[in-house]
Structure 1
Amino acid sequence: MSTQTPRLSPEKVWLGITPTLWWNDDFINIDIGIPFEQCISEMALAGYVGCSIGHKYPTDPKVLKAALELRGLRVSEPWVSTYFTIEAMKEQTIEKVRQQLAFLEEMEHGSTDPRRADLVVAEFGHAVNPLPFALFPNCPTLTDEQWGRLVDGLHQIGRIAREEGRRLCYHPHLGTGVMIASAVDRLMERTDPDLIHLLLDTAHLAAAGVDPLAVTKKYARRIKHIHLKDIRADVVHRVHNEGLSFEAAIEAGIFTVPGDGSIKTFPQILATLAEADFAGWLVIEAEQDPAKANPLRYAKMARAYLRETLGW
């Protein structure tokens, strides 16, 4: 009987990377001036085939598409912050979703490439991660009424995404109402699995005290998009003990690329996903200060770790 560990297939899994190694898209002061062209050139040089969207990217789909195709890259996902749990923001959220879906249609129009981008969302109503607040003590706890609004809103945009042939993937995120294990479970229990998929962000879960391997095992069939990144446990302890904000945590180095930090279960996580026949984007992420962590060096470090772990 074979005991070989299952591995993800390069025929069904595509490796991307986010520009948050080169600059930060939430806190634009975390930036040493690396331009868009250098960023995507280094992504390609490091061995990736896709990328998420950053604030320095051209907004004209034709210009962006040409720049990415020149380097053998394509878009893995755009991001939409949803605001269903606060007042007078539902229609604006839905409009933003429609805009991003239209953008993706322009980027991929006429393409038969199976590597289609997913739509990534997270609820930022009441979120404290953009604010200069102590992160963990001030994370919101959603009320039953807010949960109802969130679920209804997600179902509405999930249907819109599905009509456009896109998967809507929800990203549990530090500083938001869907961060801890019970909130992730509640989201999964209350949402339609045909409309709302789970984005597995290993570091956001681990930093929140959630076991990313346990989440992977529990929801493997609902995971359709991956942000693979690591944490530095000593920095997580500092965030708790010193009351650091999310921005200060990033500056202090809370995140790094997989294999460089404190999460030791990446091989088991990837094997669990392989057993579930995962197909889609596996995106490397590490929100780091590029003045302290050379982006190309860390991008190549992550690619080497994946090559060692996946065999390709």
Structure 2
Amino acid sequence: MAVFRCSCHQITWGDNLVEAIDDIGSFGYAGTETFGTVVTQFAGRAHDFQAMLQARGLRLSALYGGGPLHDPAQQSDAIANNLAIIDFLHEMGSDRIVLGPGRRDGTPSAEDMARFASGATEVAAAARDKGIVAGMHPHWNTVIEQRDEITRFFDAVDTDLVKLALDPAHIAKAGDDPVEVASSYRDILTYMHIKDYVPELDIETPDVASAQAHAPRIAFFGELGTGVVDLPALLDVARDAGYDGWRTGARDRSPTPPRQSLEVNSRYLTERLGFDLAGENA
């Protein structure tokens, strides 16, 4: 029987890494995800970052990379950045890299898609050589946003190399059904964000006192259970598929302090979904 562990993304805390891992660790999560920028912050000091996580009972579930792999002017730098992330993950003993697509400028062209597919494939091949799996993360306002773009991408890559890192809230934001996407790609599901989309919050959010430095400026991804994503059905798909990877809670932007948002999400995960945040779940 497949088992999984619970992780929490640090995005809500912006630049406040220590506060983020203090809060996440205090709620008993087994792991945490953050952005590839940590590679620069801890260049040559992966052991220091590892020690910080271990002191709070955390493992690094993944790093978020990707970027403008579709842009001919930026692809080489983006690939190099992802290779550095892969090296850092290898030092940390972590085995997942999330590839977020680059920002879209209108409807992606066939050339955009082909370049992104080739760049993602190159990164994924390098990752596999170090025992790391790459998952492409469909994301609102990027070149892989719409359902047909997800199809076009996976038709263009070797899915033995490039897998799916699912974020149901971004798929719902694009007007598509995350449960259908999960079902269609269940065999290549390698990483999962647990996040909700609240259409009523789909507005630009002004700065508030609780906002964290460099946290997202949008708030339409709400606390778990407050939006339109059918999270229990989504998790049933993952369970039926035998998915045994991380389930990573996330709230991009919160109008309340991050710890307060984390408390709401943690309560949903434990009370509604029955998760053990620290241990193994079936």
TM-score normalised by structure 1 residue count: 0.77
Q: Residue 276 of structure 1 is aligned with which of 233, 238, 241?
A: 241
The 2-side partners of 1:189 and 1:258 are apart by: 32
Alignment partner for residue 262 of structure 1, among 228, 251, 268?
Answer: 228
Partner letter of residue 3 of structure 2?
A: K
What's the secondary structure of 1:169's corresponding residue?
strand
State which of 210, 214, 227 in structure 1 corresponds to 2:176.
210
**How far has the Cα of 1:56 moved from its partner?**
7.3
SS at match of 2:246: strand
Once the two structures are superposed, residues 57-92 of structure 1 have per-residue CA deviations (whole angstroms, 9 ceiling, x without a partner) of 951212111111001001111122332322232321
Q: CA RMSD in A?
A: 2.2
The higher radius of gyration belongs to: 1
Q: Which runs of 4+ in 1 moved over 6 A?
A: none
Percent identity among equivalent residues? 25
Find 1:53's aligned residue among 11, 27, 34: 34
* Separation of aligned partners in 2, 1:117 and 1:281: 11
Number of the residue aligned with 1:155: 121
Which consecutive residues of structure 2, in runs of 5 or more, have no partner in the other structure?
205-215, 276-282
Stretch of structure 1 that moved more, 37-46 or 276-285: 37-46
Tell me the CA shift for residue 163 of structure 1.
0.8
* Alignment partner, residue 135 of structure 2: 169
What secondary structure does 1:299 align onto?
helix
SS at match of 2:180: helix
Residues 82-231 of structure 1: pairs in structure 2 closer than 5 A: 82-108=67-93, 116-124=94-102, 127=103, 139-231=105-197
Contact 2:164 2:190 in 1 (8 A): yes
Secondary structure in 2 matching 1:141: coil
In structure 1, the partner of 2:63 is 78
- How many Å apart are 1:294 and its aligned residue? 2.3
Alignment partner, residue 132 of structure 1 = none
Shift of 1:120: 0.7
Moved more, 69-78 or 49-58: 49-58
Is the alpha carbon distance of 1:64 and 1:49 closer, same or farther for their aligned partners in structure 2, counting shifts above 3 Å? same
> What is the count of residue pairs matched by the alignment?
261
**Deviation sequence 1:150-182 (CA, Å, 0-9, x none):** 222221111111111111010111111110111
Q: For 1:293-312, what aligned pairs fall within 5 Å after superposition? A: 293-312=256-275
Deviations 1:179-198 (A, max 9, x none): 01110111122221111111
1:17 aligns to what?
Answer: 8
What letter is aligned with 2:84? Q
Contact kept, 8 Å, 2:113 with 2:143, in 1: the verdict is: no
CA distance in 2, matches of 1:234, 1:90: 36
Structure 1 regions of 5+ residues with no counterpart?
1-8, 26-34, 109-115, 129-138, 240-249
The question of whether the paired residues in 1 share the 8 Å contact of 2:121 and 2:162 is answered with yes
